[in-house]
A and B are shown apart, each in its own frame.
Chain A
Amino acid sequence: MKEKRFYRIRRFFSGTPALGWLLGAFGAVLLESLVGDPFSEILGLPKIPVLFGVVIMLKKPALIPGAFAYVLLIYAIPVILFTRITAKGMNWMADKLDKMPLWFSAALHLLVLYFTLDLWAQVSDYRLLLIKLMLIAIMLTLSLNVINGYMGEFSCSHPGFMALGAYVASVFTVGLFMNDRLFGHALLPAGIGQFLFPIGLILAGAIASIGALVVAIPSFRTRGDYLAIISLAFMFIVKSLIENLEVVGGPRGLSGQPDWATLPTVFIWAILCVWTINNFVESTMGKALNAVRDEESAADAMTVNTRKTKMIAFMFGAFWAGIAGGLLAHVLRYINPGTFGLQKLAEVLAMVYFGGLNSVIGSIVGAVGFNLLSEMLRPLEIFKWIIIPVLLILVMIFRPTGLIAFKHFDIREILKPKLKMKERV
């Protein structure tokens, strides 16, 4: 009986390809941007609910019916109607795209995704900030997954890599292009700075990778607990190093970063991160990480250069953590050493283990899910810090390797046209 019901629900949703869902979401967001304001007024809501009504519902239970109706009428019903009505056409389009080069199809989907996010974010600065932080969280989670999931080391140094990246990128932009209390007059006009920002970020990633050698080299001989402690020590060393470095503001932190981490910038870097990491872990060179994790001596005996493999994993992971740190600094436009402490570590680890080890899609789900949950439950204040850990514990009990672990992220498969389940059998 229950089986049958699930089957019907799945059948209901299974006929729509990714393109249909994306365009449906875009339609809903477009609808919101057109009629969202008057609509919320009619429903008695003070303004457009920022996060699917959840925050409003938790804050003012009296507004639950209104918020619920809003979500239903603006998001749920339009998306479902759209995907149902256009299913045939969307499948036809997806089929056509499937026959074209993958990069083209992927770029088209990403464009739709970008415009959806952009339009959604135009409603409030809060949404814009949330999306940027979410994209950065994806980069952090995925890059940590390379080390902790794909290679199976328990590394705690990620906030340290982020800090290196954040400070390097900040010194690059603030030092060169801004008039600043700490670094004096701008050396170069700010106008060209925006174009040179990628160089600053790559520099940030490179320095973080070099820092990663401090953890990578001990990993040649040490594994498990000892390496975890070494990596934790690295994080604290970076933190106290910055605290004692008065040139970059010491414990007071560093501010005045230009507003160059715009949504398109962060979006493109996040896509690059997902793309290169997924490319890497799907190659035999990248799968060497798995071999080293599962049975290092066998990897060595099968010609795998294990030291090089470990070094690549740490440096590559740190590179993206550094870039994510650089972007974060320019989203927040203020950083201090405290930003990159145990709290950050706990957050990133939670996202990796919640989403799923050894899985690109798991890391995306982990980062997005964790951030959404964390924001939606904000009105619960102290209870939020009971609910989230309990959820994490439940995931760990029922799925010890995370929600979506050990899955291949097959882009072609995701974008494929979807036949009705009925037709498939």
Chain B
Amino acid sequence: MPLLQVKNMTHFFSGLRAVHNYNLVIEPGEIHGLIGPNGAGKTTIFNLITGVYTPTEGEIYLEGESIVGMQPHEIASRGLGRTFQNMKLWRHMTVLEHVMMAHYSKLTYGLVGAFFGTAKRYREEAEIEKHSMELLDLLGVAQFADQNVLNLPYGVQRKVEMARALAVQPKILFLDEPTVGMTPEELVGMMEVFRTIHREFGPAIFLIEHRMKVVMELCEQIQTLNFGEVIAEGTPEEIQRNPKVIEAYLGKEEVE
């Protein structure tokens, strides 16, 4: 049984067909890439699978279970972590609070614990704090734990966001252009982070990425999207040779 399967998914935004007849199969631990020009519908596909929008048509299965129509938090707590193209950090919260927050679905102390500060609550909060610090440590940003996220350099913010997504303990991790706007040094650091995550936790990764270098180096399977439709699918080598891809996408950008 595949970890994630999407069958014939189509989505309209009031008349605009953003995604058409999209199919996807991801096996556990696989790294899958999604490329395509701006406005092709990549982020929309993420939002459809993660439950932000409900697809107009189509089926989505996570570990064999249909997740169409579920709330994003329900899908997330089934083991789908994600990052956002524009990060979406919480402006008034510290780094540690970010990562702890993503443990929300694992809290069992309930309202009684929250209102009256039971022993169970302090025990659970201590546990998730410990786990959060481990994640921050793994990504090398533990020293910023008590700082507000807005005060941090961009590269650090990206790592915080990654740690937050990992706190969900994802079986599959959706990354939406995680290296956009990074300097070459930051990019090298980020690639290292991807490898560390994959080595430590072994989640499947579904990656939207603009930099060819990153996609070609990391992904086993790549889909190319144009105007909401998959125009090519295959291994990095196959994608690089595909004339449709070169025309729609690669030809316009320098291949790094």
Contacts and interface: CB of A to CB of B under 8 A. Distances in A.
B166 to A, nearest CB: 11
B90 A298 contact: yes
A300 interface: yes
A406 interface: yes
A118 B77 CA distance: 51
Interface string B162-182: 001101100000000000000
A305 B89 contact: no
B117 A287 contact: no
Nearest to B169: A303
Interface in B72-102: 72-73, 76-77, 82, 84, 88-93, 97, 100-102
A52 interface: no
B119 interface: no
Contacts of A406: 92
B199 to A, nearest CB: 23
Contacts of B107: 284-285
A306 B73 contact: yes
Nearest to A304: B104
B69 interface: no
A288 B111 CA distance: 13
Contacts of B91: 294-295
Given A288-B104, A294-B93, A301 B76 contact: yes
Contacts of B116: 276, 279
Given A284-B101, A284-B104, A302-B168, A297 B90 contact: no
B89 A295 contact: yes
Contact of A300 (B71, B93, B125, B165): B71
Interface in A290-340: 290-291, 293-295, 297-307, 312, 316
B114 A300 contact: no
Interface of chain A, helix or strand or loop or mixed?
helix
A160 interface: no
A297 B111 contact: no
A304 B71 CA distance: 10
B84 A298 contact: yes
Interface in B1-51: 50-51
Contacts of B88: 295, 297-298
A303 B77 contact: yes
Contacts of A312: 111
Contact of A279 (B72, B102, B115): B115
Contact of A302 (B71, B102, B113, B115): B102
A124 interface: no
B89 A298 contact: yes
B105 interface: yes
A170 interface: no
Contact of B92 (A294, A300, A316): A294
B128 A303 contact: no
Contacts, number: 108
B76 to A, nearest CB: 5
B97 A287 contact: yes
A21 interface: no
B92 A303 contact: no
B114 A304 contact: no
Q: How large is the interface on B (under 10, 10 to 19, 20 to 34, 35 or more residues)?
A: 35 or more
Interface residues of A, number: 29
A303 B121 contact: no
Nearest to B125: A284
Nearest to B149: A294
B167 A302 contact: yes
Q: Which of B71, B73, B89, B128 has the most chain A CB atoms inside 10 A of its CB? A: B73
A280 interface: yes
Contact of B104 (A294, A302, A307): A302
B104 A283 contact: no
B156 interface: no
A291 B105 CA distance: 14
Contacts of B84: 297-298, 301
Contact of B101 (A279, A299, A305): A299
Contact of A290 (B92, B114, B115): B92
B115 A280 contact: yes
B57 to A, nearest CB: 23
A358 interface: yes
Contacts of A302: 73, 76, 101-102, 104, 164-165, 167-168
A316 B116 CA distance: 13
A286 interface: yes
Contacts of B71: 300, 305-307
A303 B114 contact: no
A302 B41 CA distance: 23
A305 B104 contact: yes
Nearest to B47: A297
B73 to A, nearest CB: 5
A288 B101 contact: yes
Nearest to A309: B104
Contacts of A284: 97, 100-101, 103-104, 107, 125, 128
Interface of A: 276, 279-280, 283-288, 290-291, 293-295, 297-307, 312, 316, 358, 406
Interface of B: 50-52, 71-73, 76-77, 82, 84, 88-93, 97, 100-107, 109, 111, 113-117, 121, 125, 128, 164-165, 167-168
12 contacts: A280-B114, A294-B91, A295-B89, A297-B88, A299-B73, A300-B76, A301-B50, A301-B82, A302-B73, A302-B76, A302-B167, A316-B115
